[in-house]
Structure 1
């Protein structure tokens, strides 16, 4: 891409220019397209790849993911990127105002990452309003496929924004960037998700009616979509977005579970993996390239929560949560290995390592910390890939799709034999656990379902654990913010009042 002088407040980027940290920087902007290049088919597919890159890097970035230690599937040894405001105990309000270093504000990073490509995706989709605009490569017309990708990128960006924020600025192809009314177009997370799913459904319809099978180029590292895989990916994302957007158990009961079921039935039939390539390893705003949760597991910044280990080995004395600490003694650092777990994934996905090699074990008495952070196990599932810097890491497992379908069947009083089979696809095949049975109650099946999500799925993309625990029976502890506020500088720029979440009584 051409080198240009970037103003993050440029048209379509939706970022305030008045803030001191939004200064022009002379770097290659891989996400902002040159509108003059859009008519070039090969360049158009490069821009689509940039859009997917923004979505993926934002979704695996260290910020805000490390903050979701508040869901207790993993614990943090450090409050990096301002994450401590999310998981410290007692819970506290999230900071939300001007700052000289926005990267360390937990609710800023995802916002500016995702909005960094919203305008690009809108621009690309608007190009197709011209009936003469075609994407033809090698004599093959890829126009509908390219248009579907533009809609799908919008869905991915806005879907993730909706999952994370209570409100957002909904800029669409119907708006003019120069006259956009931020206050009038501040929409709730439900409205933003509705738009994301509308764009997703538009993409699905285009793909279904398209005669083209395989894409002419890769738009996700390590992946070249054909028609079947792209449809499965889009449908699985629909199931994820719709199921995960609820903030409470009450909202979860109001989800359109028949629609979740429809998406999941057409979803992924194999694990969706992304290459751990340079440029596809997470990025926190405009810096900290490579700072992603996979690397943090390897760096020992985060460890598996004893809360989850206790679920995996409930009868083992060394899975007790929290690990007990005798005042004046550091013997807890030699806390023994768990010996009695019925789930074989304990040794497949995790590795025992005493806490004398973990800096977090010296921090239990610091303000905000506690013995709840202690763990004698590290996550080892992708360790070798991250150490080598090459290979394929999972992003969306077949098991995640299976559990959405199983949950939709539970919520709609569906076939318990089918529910059990979907749970057992991972529970028995991967965990070597006794099978879930059709004779069990829906409640018992639900417990087994969420156990599978916690062990199998929610550490692959750790934001899921937060989404699952805010909407499910294993509720977040009181005071835990259920979502993020719009970043303070945005609010001030557009004449809106500052607000925030966190602390008992102010969760959402």
Structure 2
């Protein structure tokens, strides 16, 4: 397909943006339902629209709509972070194996396909299926339409504030709403840049009739410019905190914390953008350091969380699924990193046994919590001292349909966030299942971005940042800046500590050339969008 020309007219996504500014002339008016101009006339409604833009970004990124279109769970399995044999989210379709020598895997293990092959015939990875008639196309659509929905709402909010001079309660509140709305723009452009090959850059003052395609790099740069604006607005001190509705019930952040979030996400945008190791080497790592050193692990460190209200209006489906032992498990690639003696990679049922990992996050694979939950749900032993804090081993080593490929099996599951499932799924180890604060970005992720920048620029200080989780949470010997394998120690923490908290695993594996052959590295513009615009696939 060619995306070099200007888009003729206003169509597809643009229709949604234009309709946000006026009424559809073909619709029958309902005097009891406010149209867009009347809706945007109310400061309270504009505030709600701004809150909705941020909520849409969160739910799009973390699958809170609960639909099978959500691609991040699929991408986690693509990156061999988690594993599942189900075809929900079209996981099974997109996550074949490599039955050949590749990246240390050999024909002795059937490549990455594992043993025994009698558990299902191997099949190769598949590219994103952008055929308009294919069911699998929906994984390409979810984030595209989600992020552009957030951008549409943000466009309307900023027009009312910046063009029309709307005041929401008072100047401080107005500036808070403006700042968080620009943050929603920055976050949306960032995710579009990380995931798609092209897109649109739409702002409050964009002339939609002359809109053209932008490359992924241009989307990235637009995101960085927006993050810089957020940092400037937040550090000006015009407001002191966010309203209650932007991050779930009861969650607010100070202006200082909003600036820290923007810094971390800017660092993340730069570091995770590369599609391969060559592009990764060309990243401006000094700029990554500049952002990350002012991010959420600097000063008073904090995790960026939302409040999941039992999946009523806020839901983190990334954790709801990935921390349910009956649904997804830890990929053998990561399990083998935690304990190479007992956890073979690829899967080998006969060679798998109870762990004895030096990393406290797995430990001996037992569960540290409730015995009934361990017995009835996890089918694991209980050990409150030496059990895993984040991962457990189950004696029910294989789960689900065992004919769908041995590489879809694992005996280790993630339980770090197992209080978040429970929204109609299965009983969980929580007194209030699903009604919890959910981290969507850990302070540790910022530490590791910062540390990687230091390593790749030859600066000192990376080991101390790595040790924040390596030693404190993992109980492992401290890393040192002089370690010859310091980068590998960093990448171990990226895999073990960050898994399930954010979509980082896919981007981290992509940029070091560790995705299996035939795994797609980015998404195309959805076919539905191209068809409406009159462009070929």
State TM-score, norm by structure 2. Answer: 0.77
Tell me the equivalent position of 1:48. 50
Aligned mate of 1:75, from 60, 76, 83: 83
How far apart are the structure 1 equivalents of 2:491 and 2:35? Answer: 41
- The verdict on how the C-alpha distance between 1:42 and 1:484 changes in structure 2, with shifts beyond 3 A counting, is same
How far apart are the structure 2 equivalents of 1:33 and 1:70? Answer: 43
How far apart are the structure 1 equivalents of 2:35 and 2:495? Answer: 39
Report the alpha carbon displacement of residue 101 of structure 1 after superposing the two structures with TM: 5.6
Secondary structure of 2:157's match? helix
Tell me the equivalent position of 1:4. none
Report the alpha carbon displacement of residue 84 of structure 1 after superposing the two structures with TM: 3.3
How far apart are the structure 1 equivalents of 2:397 and 2:35? Answer: 49
Tell me the equivalent position of 2:303. 271
Secondary structure of 1:392's match? strand
Aligned mate of 1:220, from 237, 247, 259: 247
Secondary structure of 1:465's match? helix
How far apart are the structure 2 equivalents of 1:115 and 1:348? Answer: 38
How far apart are the structure 1 equivalents of 2:205 and 2:238? Answer: 29
Tell me the equivalent position of 1:165. 196
Report the alpha carbon displacement of residue 70 of structure 1 after superposing the two structures with TM: 1.0
Report the alpha carbon displacement of residue 476 of structure 1 after superposing the two structures with TM: 0.9
Tell me the equivalent position of 1:244. 272
Secondary structure of 1:383's match? coil
After superposing the two structures, state which structure 1 stretch, 193-202 or 124-133, moved more: 124-133
After superposing the two structures, state which structure 1 stretch, 294-303 or 421-430, moved more: 294-303
- The verdict on how the C-alpha distance between 1:199 and 1:39 changes in structure 2, with shifts beyond 3 A counting, is farther
- The verdict on how the C-alpha distance between 1:101 and 1:480 changes in structure 2, with shifts beyond 3 A counting, is closer
Question: Which ranges in structure 1 are unaligned for 5 or more consecutive residues?
Answer: 1-6, 16-23, 25-31, 283-290, 326-330, 365-369, 499-508
Tell me the equivalent position of 1:97. 131
Tell me the equivalent position of 1:377. 412
How far apart are the structure 2 equivalents of 1:64 and 1:157? Answer: 16
Report the alpha carbon displacement of residue 79 of structure 1 after superposing the two structures with TM: 2.1
Secondary structure of 1:108's match? helix
Secondary structure of 2:524's match? coil
- The verdict on how the C-alpha distance between 1:192 and 1:82 changes in structure 2, with shifts beyond 3 A counting, is same
- Superposed CA offset, 1:245-302 (max 9, x none): 11101111111111111111111112122111121115xxxxxxxx544235326221
Are the equivalent residues in 1 in contact too, given 2:319–2:417 (CA < 8 A)? no
Q: Which runs of 4+ in 1 moved over 4 A?
A: 7-10
Q: Report matched runs for 1:355-374 at 5 Å.
A: 355=396, 358-360=399-401, 362-364=402-404, 370-374=405-409
How far apart are the structure 2 equivalents of 1:9 and 1:248? Answer: 30
Tell me the equivalent position of 1:260. 288
Secondary structure of 1:218's match? helix
Tell me the equivalent position of 1:307. 333
**Is residue 207 of structure 1 aligned with residue 234 of structure 2?**
yes
How far apart are the structure 2 equivalents of 1:358 and 1:112? Answer: 34
- The verdict on how the C-alpha distance between 1:260 and 1:14 changes in structure 2, with shifts beyond 3 A counting, is farther
How far apart are the structure 2 equivalents of 1:226 and 1:33? Answer: 34
Q: What is the number of residues matched between the two proteins?
A: 440
Report the alpha carbon displacement of residue 396 of structure 1 after superposing the two structures with TM: 0.7
Report the alpha carbon displacement of residue 13 of structure 1 after superposing the two structures with TM: 4.6
Report the alpha carbon displacement of residue 134 of structure 1 after superposing the two structures with TM: 2.0
After superposing the two structures, state which structure 1 stretch, 399-408 or 226-235, moved more: 226-235
RMSD over aligned CA atoms reads 2.5
Report the alpha carbon displacement of residue 210 of structure 1 after superposing the two structures with TM: 3.0
How far apart are the structure 2 equivalents of 1:324 and 1:382? Answer: 27
- Superposed CA offset, 1:176-214 (max 9, x none): 33x244xxx211111111111111111111111133212
Tell me the equivalent position of 1:11. 15
Are the equivalent residues in 2 in contact too, given 1:355–1:375 (CA < 8 A)? no
How far apart are the structure 1 equivalents of 2:327 and 2:82? Answer: 10
How far apart are the structure 2 equivalents of 1:72 and 1:407? Answer: 21
How far apart are the structure 2 equivalents of 1:319 and 1:33? Answer: 59
How far apart are the structure 2 equivalents of 1:93 and 1:472? Answer: 19
Report the alpha carbon displacement of residue 403 of structure 1 after superposing the two structures with TM: 0.5
**Is residue 478 of structure 1 aligned with residue 480 of structure 2?**
no
Question: Which ranges in structure 2 are unaligned for 5 or more consecutive residues?
Answer: 1-10, 20-26, 28-33, 98-123, 363-387, 423-432
- The verdict on how the C-alpha distance between 1:345 and 1:149 changes in structure 2, with shifts beyond 3 A counting, is same
Are the equivalent residues in 1 in contact too, given 2:359–2:474 (CA < 8 A)? yes
Tell me the equivalent position of 2:119. none
Report the alpha carbon displacement of residue 99 of structure 1 after superposing the two structures with TM: 3.1
After superposing the two structures, state which structure 1 stretch, 115-124 or 292-301, moved more: 292-301
Secondary structure of 2:140's match? coil
Secondary structure of 2:163's match? coil
- The verdict on how the C-alpha distance between 1:214 and 1:175 changes in structure 2, with shifts beyond 3 A counting, is closer
Report the alpha carbon displacement of residue 152 of structure 1 after superposing the two structures with TM: 0.8
